[in-house]
Structure 1
Amino acid sequence: MLTAGPASAQSSSPATNDVTLVMVRADSLSDVGVAVSLVAAGHGDAVLFVEEWDKLGYDEFSVLVTQLPASLLIVGGYDALISTLEDDIRQWLSATEIERIAGRDRIETAALAAERIIGDLDDPTVMLANGWSLPDVGTAASAVATGRADAVLYSSVSGLGAPTRRFIENSHIDSIVMVGGPEALRPEVAQEARRHGHPARVRRVGGATRVHTAALSAAAALEAGARTAVIADGWSLPDVGLAASLAASLGDAVVLYTTTDDLADAAEELVAAQRPELVFVVDTVSGTQHSLLAQLGTSVPQAHVIRINDARQAARYALRAVPATAVSQPPLAAHQGATTLAVGWSHACGLRTDHTITCWGAGNYGELFSPDDTYAAIDAGPGVNCALRPDSTVSCWGRADWELPEVPAGSFVAVSTGGPFACGIRIDDSITCWGRSIYGRLKAPEGTFTAVSNGNLTACAIRIDRTVTCWASSRRFEIVPPEGSFISLSAGGGYACGIRPNQRLECWGSNYDGRPEVIDGTFSAVSAGRASTCALRTDGTIVCWSNDELAEAETPEGTFTEIGIGLGFACALRTDATVHCWGKNTHGQAEAPIGTFAVRSRE
């Protein structure tokens, strides 16, 4: 089954983008290798790793509903990913074409993928790897990604296996490149390949260890012009799979292996000689790559080094490599807080279907006039707005005295503003804050995060482990979040509310005004204001708690996908993509403009 998703995704499926995702069970390492080879050969844009065999987690669901792929390839049999997953995904993304590639074993699955890849190619080159040695499979897939081979086949340590043997016999193969030393592929495998692959040339790329084998394979690609290296601990199989999938998506990247916390001699010599411009260090398991990063600073001081901490971050980089022409709308951030409707104290803004911004209400600080550009997400505060562009840069406008328009350089995946300062999640999942530090305490917490929400002088964020941390511009505004996991949150005036994984709503902080005390039901979204709180139930209906003008207004009926709270008024995005506002209307803030707005499914 699919884990509970947002109500906004349940009724209709929006148009898809020209993107193909390859889905695979994360711990099915042989299937990971096949998925990587498909992406490396151009038959997919990125690998989507699924942690559990019978359901999608919120991270995987978010990638699907934000990328809206035209095609989804599932690699592996029903013991790896249950058949009902396909039915669940079709329910949410009815326009996505879903296909499964699965043989009776890993060797046949790889052969089926190779048949799909090679098709009518003349004189292809195939990489042959031990299907039980994921490091060698990653090296083979890297060769496909850099154009030195066309497909990957599996064998056992001592024999080709019937599916690989039939493929070699029936295909006009020019070259068979065996990956790994004699311990990975015995000499009889080479003999069998020559016997059945005649007149194909058979050669071996193999070193004394997996580190040396990867370095030997990568050397040719780097010498031919590849400028990106993806480095992972060669003994950490999850990191090996993630590194291979990232390299496959990037296209001009090679895979190199290290020991646990050391850049092995073969890899160090290669990067020092070839000097790649971009280096990814994949470390999702040990978290101890500190000396490795120091070595890279010495070996390739000119390189831009990026550390990858989890599969979601790797997927984001992989999808950024998709040609812009393939995406019919700006890519949507896979983070909480990425909204298409934003409500400040006395104004509101919405993201139109063409991804321009329309604002209405009070405009004393220029907050109604957005820069002429397209955007992927927006947030609003008192007299100010901040928005995320498709190129991952941020633009803020409005109150100049708060210094918010002075946005730090670099790439972001989410942004939030609710008072005199704004905070954004960078592409490495760290948080940066900027603006006016009224009480001299603007620094954000350290760590990696999936969501951030700024209230009035208070901010809260969800860490990678789904726990919440809060901070404030003064100790008097600090609030202490409850323990446990949350999947989304909203910070308001001295309090915050969050939604648990079971979709229950919980609030903490000051009891002043709009914080609800007793909360029944399940919810998909929440917006905390200065004196009001509104939330979307899982059926898409709205419930509000208020002690200002909003309490006097009638809450609208119908179903909605997003909700935002201001001072005495609120706005919500209907499932038909129109906006409805209600409550205080002194500046026209409750008079939403006509027309449709971009509908985004929440994570």
Structure 2
Amino acid sequence: MLLGAAAPPGAGAQSDGADAPAFAVALGSSLADVGAATLLVAAGQADAVLMVDAPDMAGAAATSLVGEHGASAFVLVGGSAAVGPEIETELAALAPRAAMSRVWGADREATAAEVARQVLDVCPDPRGAVVALANGWSPADTAAAAAAVAAGTVDAVLWTSADKLGDAATEALKEFSVRRVLVVGGPAALSEQIVDAASAAAGPAAQIRRVGGADRADTAVMVARVATAGRASAAVIADGWDLPTAAQAAALAAAATDAVVLFSEPGGTLGDAAVQFLADSKPERIWALSSDEATRGALAQNAEQAASEARVTKIDSPTAATAAAIQVSRQQDSQAGGCIDAGDSAGVGSSGSGGGSGSGSDGGTRARNPIPPNPTGVDASPQGPNTVLMTWDRYPTGHSVIELTVAWNPAVHPPTGMVTTVVVGLSDTQYTVTGLTPGVEYQFSVFARNSYGERRGTAVFATTPTS
């Protein structure tokens, strides 16, 4: 349920400053609501997540951030039991000209569904939505799903219990035009009965894929690889067992372009899979996030060793993490409300109700940078035990694209080997990959590149036959 008029940044909301941010406000101790709020940031409908200390008290960190940066809008995520009327009063006093709205449901499942509706109403994807489904009562899995949101892997996130698909998630999957459901976590987190129910609700056209590693750190790497096909412009690394910090990491990554979240072991040690991902993807920017000095130092050291050319920044507090998210949002080309590119073909937003290609009060795409969109309609079809045919729609003119690149690698975890890339012609619509191993699942992507760089492409998967 949406109360009030949610005004995207720059969309006519009164502001306490010319460059004041819009905040998605959530209870910091509710990782489920923080994850839903992260979706609003990833979709460009807020600049940062403002985490409050208690249902009836914003807390010193939140009030300090609003006092320093001002606010153009507040979107309260959750009902009054999570973000009470006292919070509304407190925030209104700090930023009296800011727009105030609330997105909420009867519980965390219903709240996530309402946030998803708000995002998809503004940003309908003509190809169908990509939805993450996770156990909303498992902090580890909600953190991993928030990481999927931050990476731009999904258009929406839905919560459910471990053994029964709730009414809110069921109705949302039936209502949305779903092309893919990403099930976050293993069978212990979400049973096969949940997967079957989600498949039935989403319909026969929807693809169902489970992404779950041995623990939350492994799952985060798997999510990152699915989101980026082994490439990322930025990464936020945090202790995945410190759940408030994990939530802050996802909220920061959601504000950045093509960013992923990676979780360390307690103490800041990165696992082999995370180190390999950083070495493969070579991100330009890494944030190491922890309130503990020793952990923060270990994270930064591991990041510098794995990605020697990256600029590594240490973040020491929730206030600093939110301030960094605000700064990142301001550095983007536009702060108008916009859309997530949850896939290799959505580019910098989607057309449809409330969409468009500019900024303004009617809601436009969040043109975070001038990197071009990737080709649409990417598919991969096995042609034999060693061969897969990749196909995609002809690339449209008007994006100043220098080249198209196809990429593939085994879809195994932990990853083995480097991503293979081949440059193809701008007018090409297919490429035959040879020399593959029989009986192995691979992931395939197509990237467009111009002088500013290239955008991640969500992978499609195919398994070569054994004979």
Q: Which has the higher contact order (CA 8 A, sep 6+)?
A: 2
Following superposition of structure 1 onto structure 2, how do residues 133-532 of structure 1 map, counting pairs within 5 Å? 133-199=138-204, 200-223=206-229, 225-261=231-267, 262-285=269-292, 287-323=294-330
Corresponding residue for residue 24 of structure 1: 26
Aligned partners of 1:45, 1:326: CA distance in 2, in Å? 11
Change (3 A) 1:97 1:290: closer
Aligned mates of 2:310, 2:106 — CA distance in 1: 44
Which residue identity does 1:80 align to in structure 2?
Answer: A
Alignment of 1:121 with 2:128, yes or no, is no
Asked if the contact 1:40/1:144 (under 8 Å) is kept, the reply is: yes
Q: CA deviation at 1:225?
A: 4.1
Q: Secondary structure at the match of 1:174?
A: strand
The amino acid of 1:151's aligned partner reads A
Structure 1 residues not aligned, in runs of 5+: 1-11, 329-603
The 8 Å contact of residues 150 and 251 in structure 2, kept in 1 or not, is answered as no
For residues 133 and 67 of structure 1, do their structure 2 counterparts lie closer, same or farther at Cα, with a shift above 3 Å needed?
A: same
Distance 1:74 1:187 in 2: 34
Superposed CA offset, 1:55-108 (max 9, x none) = 233432232233332210111222222212212322342321111122111111
Letter in 2 for 1:21: F
For the 8 Å contact 2:109–2:166, the answer to whether it is kept is yes
Aligned counterpart, 1:62:
64
- 1:18 deviates by 6.2
Look up the equivalent residue of 2:142 and give its one-letter code: V
CA distance in 2 between counterparts of 1:114 and 1:286 reads 36
Q: Give the direction of change, closer, same or farther, for the CA distance of 1:286–1:321 in structure 2 (3 Å limit).
A: closer
Cα separation, 2, equivalents of 1:108 and 1:169:
14
More divergent stretch after superposition (137-146 vs 315-324): 137-146
Structure 2 residue runs without a partner (length 5+) = 1-13, 337-467
For residues 289 and 19 of structure 1, the distance between their equivalents in structure 2, rounded to whole angstroms, comes to: 27
Greater shift, 57-66 or 43-52, is seen at 57-66
Q: Quick check: 1:41–1:151 contact (8 Å CA) kept in 2?
A: no
Identical columns (%): 34
What SS does the aligned partner of 1:322 have? helix
In 2, the alpha carbon distance for the partners of 1:89 and 1:128 equals: 32
Assess if the C-alpha contact under 8 Å between 2:33 and 2:77 holds in 1. yes
Per residue, is there more helix in 1 or in 2? Answer: 2
Structure 1: distance between partners of 2:27 and 2:167 = 25
1:114-153 superposed Cα distances (whole Å, 9 cap, x missing partner): 1111114331111111112333333333333333321111
Higher-Rg member (1/2): 1
Deviations 1:284-325 (A, max 9, x none): 257434444333332222222112111111111101122467
Match of 1:109 in 2: 111
CA shift, 1:163, in A, is 0.4
- How far apart, in 2, do the equivalents of 1:246 and 1:107 lie? 23
Cα distance in 2, alignment partners of residues 73 and 94 from structure 1: 14
Look up the equivalent residue of 2:170 and give its one-letter code: R
Paired residues in the alignment total 317
CA distance in 1 between partners of 2:110 and 2:218 (Å): 28
The answer to whether the Cα contact below 8 Å between 1:40 and 1:251 also exists between their aligned partners in 2 is no
Aligned-partner SS, 2:72: strand
Task: Tell me the amino acid that sits aligned with residue 48 of structure 2.
Answer: A
Task: State how far apart, in whole Å, the 2-side matches of 1:217 and 1:80 are.
Answer: 28
Structure 2: how far apart are the matches of 1:171 and 1:222?
24
Cα displacement (A) at 1:30: 1.5
Measured after TM superposition, the shift of residue 217 of structure 1 is 1.1
Maintained 8 Å contact 1:18/1:70? yes
What is the rounded CA distance, in whole Å, between the counterparts of 1:66 and 1:271 in structure 2?
34
* Root-mean-square deviation (Å): 2.4
Residue type of the alignment partner of 1:66:
E
Q: Tell me, yes or no, if the aligned pair for 1:17 and 1:327 is still in contact at 8 Å.
A: no
Task: Please give the alpha-carbon distance, in whole angstroms, between the structure 2 residues aligned to 1:83 and 1:132.
Answer: 25
